[in-house]
A and B are shown apart, each in its own frame.
Chain A
Amino acid sequence: MLGFRLFFIGILASAVIGAGVYVMKLRSDNAILKANAVKMEEAISDQQELITQQKEDFKEILAANQKMNELVGALKKDLEDLDKRFNKKNRDFGKLAIEKTGAIERIINKGGDAAARCLEIASGAELTEQEINATKKSEINRECPSIANPNYVPY
């Protein structure tokens, strides 16, 4: 009878100890899971920040590309306009220079000064108030309006 009791107590004690150990393990697992959840949330937050930053970077890259493309297009147009000035309606520049020497000399000197100013601007020179405010054909630098006269809209 005593043996049976002892056996029963032993089983009971083992069960209680086992349950205690199991609860302890559950608590420990729970703590680990909580810590993991916090880490996951942090990681997700970091990822979100990274994604947001990447989106902003892409926007900036696109805007920079667009601006550069616009600039290249505008400069190409300036070059085409220069070509037109020499050859408009089968114009013979040499013949004109012989016929109207004085007038053409004045024109090319004015154009030369304007072209030199364009080079200064292209190398980083600040625009003058006059250049910024120019909106009429008579006010603009005809050699490079795209960079010298930001407020001029061709008409």
Chain B
Amino acid sequence: MSLTSCSGVKELTIFKKKVEREKLNLDKPSALQLEQLRWIIITSENAEEVFRKLEEQGIDPVLFGLTDKDFELLAKNFARIRNQLKITNDLLDKYKEYYEPEKKIENKDE
């Protein structure tokens, strides 16, 4: 009896602890830095002058053209791309704010 009561076997205590999921912490893509473009309007009247000026500046006398309608479409397409980029970027920020709020975690640590 005395031998068994002195044995070192203790009752197991099993506990669970919730561990927060690790943050993804991917770096946000750096903002774009775009090159400046120069638009040249060429009409039947100024065409010769435009090409002459290009040659004077040492630029190949060749232009890639758009009609006025296509220029309008290009401008609108870029505006749509810009809007989509902005929405996607803001959406990403909102998800990060919601699922990885810095302030709440700081409070918990305190």
Where chain A touches its partner, the secondary structure class is helix
Q: Is the CB of B78 within 8 A of A124?
A: no
A78 to B86, CA, bound (A): 13
In the assembled complex, the CB of A143 is this many whole angstroms from the nearest CB of chain B, namely: 7
Q: Is the CB of B69 within 8 A of A123?
A: no
B32 within 8 A of A: yes
Q: Is the CB of A97 within 8 A of B85?
A: no
A105 to B97, CA, bound (A): 43
Q: Is the CB of A93 within 8 A of B72?
A: yes
Q: Is the CB of B85 within 8 A of A116?
A: no
What range describes how many residues of B lie at the interface? 35 or more
Where chain B touches its partner, the secondary structure class is helix
A64 within 8 A of B: yes
Q: Which residues, 112 to 138 on A, are CB-close (under 8 Å) to B?
A: 112-113, 115-126
Residues in A whose Cβ lies below 8 Å from that of B37? 112, 116
Q: Is the CB of B82 within 8 A of A82?
A: no
The 6 lowest CB-CB distance pairs between A and B, nearest first, are A94-B68, A125-B31, A122-B86, A123-B32, A75-B83, A122-B85
Q: List residues of B whose CB falls within 8 A of some A CB.
A: 28-34, 36-41, 43, 45-46, 67-69, 71-72, 75-76, 78-83, 85-87, 89-91, 94, 97-98
20 contacts between A and B (CB under 8 A): A64-B94, A68-B87, A75-B87, A79-B76, A82-B79, A98-B43, A101-B41, A101-B43, A105-B39, A108-B41, A109-B38, A112-B37, A112-B39, A113-B36, A115-B75, A118-B82, A121-B86, A122-B85, A124-B29, A124-B30
